[in-house]
Amino acid sequence: MSIRVDQFIVSDQANINTAMQIIDQNGMGAVFVVDASGRMCGMATDGDIRRALLQGHDLTGPIRQVMRTDYVSLPHTATQEEVLNCLSDPIKIIPLLDTAGRPVNYACYHRYHEFQVMEPSLDGKELIYLTECIMKNWISSQGGFVTRFEKRFAEFIGMEEAFAVSNGTVALHLALTALGIGAGNEVIVPDLTFAASVNAILYTGATPVLVDVCPDTWTMDPGAVARAITPKTKAIMPVHLYGHPCHMDEIRAIAADAGCLIVEDCAESLGSEYKGAKTGSLGDAGCFSFFGNKVLTTGEGGMVVFKDREAGKRARILRDHGMSPARRYWHEYVGFNYRLTNLQAAVGVAQMERIGKLFNMRDTIFAEYDQHLKGIEGIELLPRSPWGRHVPWLYCILLSDIDHRSTRDEMIAHLKSHGIQTRPLFYPIHEMPPYRHLSPPGARYPVSERLSYSGISLPSGYSLTASDIRYICSALKQSLPSTLIV
């Protein structure tokens, strides 16, 4: 499972180079130095060694000269509580010693702390605004925060109005419905996406038509979209996957030719720009998600924007049971209850206040990963748009190895044993049981399949530090087939 204690051990007679090799192999950033009888006499981290080398120590010099003797250790009988009390940010690994002082086990931060794929950043005014809702009894879908959130969001996207809804999936459903899409219509959607994009189309009674994606953006292939147009095509749903804007000029030209609508799925692309315009403002409707793992979160939540004011008006009514805004309990349509609560909107307003900071934090995390993973043979990084801003969401890599699936799944297991949670990329929609019938006989999705089976999302949460990312990348490199390590 995880690293054994003997993978930390180095003799006090060894040189610095040997200790570095052991650190490299265990991927834990430290060695335990023992004397001839196996008793622990010192500890050295990769940081200690780096500092020693900078101070002029030689790789052939004895490890004894650079090890620390003031390390923290605990008896191997220590309770979990005792261990947790000792682990802290600088002390990530603690040797556990037997009565003779020999290391027989170790405790490490990563055994207790699992790196999640995504964690939100909630240290703005989220709690203050939430408390305000509770104190004033405004906890339902009426209350000032909903309109404040909508207004701020609309300004940010560069649209006149925005409509807050309960999640990203219903944002898509509401947009499609307000634009009149339903039974008998076809909607073109990429094969590589989160299933909610396709589900929302199915809810309306329309038929999703799956198309392959491009290797350069991981988003829908305009050539495939053009080939999928039929007289029944009513809309195209570009999904700006992992924050990367789609080939919008091409898609807009196809939509204009075919006379069909564009509903953008921007659940993963809040803040991303295509040639200077925010995703969500490029089609007839733009749909966003504020689920807990998205760049901006309200726990659950979503937002829709429309190009056409009339569609917005319909959406407002449909969101609220289809009830006439002028005549209470008079229903104009079969509507839905897709409202966002004031509590969620309170969190949303606090998040919007820090949106620039949130984007900077994401850029920093991605730059740190790039630094460790760029140029590593066997790893491809996720694409960056040449045509605008790409707001980074999850840090994804592809394994450019031949036997993707088994290598990828072994890597996921290895990282898990190091306390690192990862995710495979989305499965190709056409392979899953409820959607198989959507793929016409003979249709092929080779790019979607290759990306899906060779991709991994790495921990990308807001709380990651540079040293966490270094640890994750070192565990990752360790799990690459050895021939691929440069």
Minimum CB distance to ligand PLP smaller for 244 or for 389: 244
Kindly tell me which residue out of 302, 419, 428, 455 binds ligand PLP, with binding defined by CB under 6 A: 302
| Element housing 254 (H / E) | helix 248-258
- Within 150-179, the residues that bind ligand PLP by CB under 6 A are 167-169
Nearest distance, CB of residue 146 and ligand PLP, angstroms = 17
Using the 8-state DSSP alphabet, how is residue 446 labeled?
H
Q: How many CB atoms lie within 10 A of CB 325?
A: 11
Choosing from 267, 295, 296, 365, the residue that interacts with ligand PLP (CB under 6 A) is: 267
Helices (H), ranges, 74-228:
80-86, 109-112, 126-136, 144-157, 168-178, 195-203, 222-228
Give the integer Cα–Cα distance in Å for 272 and 139. 31
If binding is defined by CB under 6 A, does position 204 make contact with ligand PLP?
no
Please give the Cα distance from 315 to 13 (Å, whole number).
74
| Nearest distance in Å: CB 109, ligand PLP | 30
Toward ligand PLP, which CB reaches closer, 192 or 261? 192
Smallest gap, in angstroms, from Cβ of residue 292 to ligand PLP?
A: 9
Q: Which of 177, 185, 197, 344 binds ligand PLP (CB under 6 A)?
A: 197
Q: Which of 32, 138, 291, 359 binds ligand PLP (CB under 6 A)?
A: 291
Nearest residue (CB) to ligand PLP, 212 versus 265: 265
Give bridge partners of residue 225 from the DSSP assignment: none
- 240 with 230: CB under 8 angstroms? no
What's the closest the beta carbon of residue 356 comes to ligand PLP, in angstroms?
22
- Looking at 157, 175, 196, 315, which residue binds ligand PLP (CB under 6 A)? 196
Nearer to ligand PLP, 71 or 274 (CB): 274
d(CA 345, CA 31): 49
Strand, helix or coil for residue 143: coil
Query: Quick one: 164 or 239, whose CB is closer to ligand PLP?
Result: 239
- Return the residue of 126, 186, 268, 368 that touches ligand PLP, per CB under 6 A: 268
Shortest distance, CB of residue 357 to ligand PLP, whole angstroms?
22
Alpha-carbon gap, residue 225 to 196, rounded angstroms: 19
Q: Does 193 bind ligand PLP (CB under 6 A)?
A: yes
Question: Which residue's Cβ lies closest to ligand PLP?
Answer: 168
Contact status: 368 vs ligand PLP (CB under 6 A): no
CA 347 – CA 274 distance, rounded (Å): 27
* Site size for ligand PLP (CB under 6 A): 14
Q: How many helices (H) and strands (E) does the chain have?
A: 16, 19
Q: Which amino acid is at 458?
A: L
Q: How many CA atoms lie within 13 A of 274 on its CB side?
A: 22
Which residue's CB is nearer to ligand PLP, number 177 or number 407?
177
> What is the rounded CA–CA span in Å between residue 461 and residue 362?
8
Among 10, 23, 93, 239, binds ligand PLP (CB under 6 A): 239
The residue among 375, 401, 168, 204 whose CA lies nearest residue 286 is 168
Which residues lie near ligand PLP (CB under 6 A)?
167-169, 193-194, 196-197, 239, 265, 267-268, 289, 291, 302
